[in-house]
Amino acid sequence: MRTAALLLLGVFPALAGEVAVLANGFSIRVDRHESVGGKMVLYKAGGEIELPAGQVVRFEQEDVVESQAESQARMPVPQPLFEKPSARELVDRAAEKYGLPPALLSSVVKAESGFRAEAVSVKGAVGLMQLMPGTAAELNADPSDPEQNVEAGARYLRDLLVKYGYSSHRALAAYNAGPGAVDKYNGVPPYRETQQYVDRVVGEFLKTQMR
């Protein structure tokens, strides 16, 4: 009954047998043996074999067969696959690192790429924060890597805010059109694209503050 229960459970007991090496060169796997008079009795599952004692040269211990439960216990536990952080998680981390309001950085990313890491503009700006290759190189970042892209963009925006006395309008204008244009006009340059960009980002930021 015990053996049947183990089989039903899919758990097999460890079996240790022995190998009878015969004089003719053959070998037989047996569960156990017993010497009776001048004969050697070999016991196997389901029966027994009687041989003249002289026909058995020696017995060798058979390796223990590992149970299924033990085998499974030794198997390496599969590790969960590493999940890449989402775009919003990257934004929150970068905002915290560089002391920016997460909602402001999120508004910039939304305006720049719509949170798409694969976005590339006609001018060659790359990634979530649309970094130009030259700007990315100055920031020692790979713009095609989402994490490096967002972190570099956040650092660049923080530096622009510091440069322009924390004027969000000027910093955002410089992010879009370049510091040279903001310095030239001493404020948001009269470029329709830049003015619309600043209004869009500031509007999105204010909208999040009213939720």
Q: Is 204 labeled as catalytic in the residue annotation?
A: no
The region, left, alpha or beta by phi > 0 then psi within -120 to 50, assigned to residue 54 is alpha
Residue with structure tokens 């967002």? Answer: 150
SS3 131: strand
48, 112, 138, 151: the active-site residue? 112
DSSP 153-206: HHHHHHHHHHHTTT-HHHHHHHHHH-HHHHHHHTSS-S-HHHHHHHHHHHHHHH
* 33, 40 Cβ separation under 8 angstroms: yes
- Active-site positions read 112
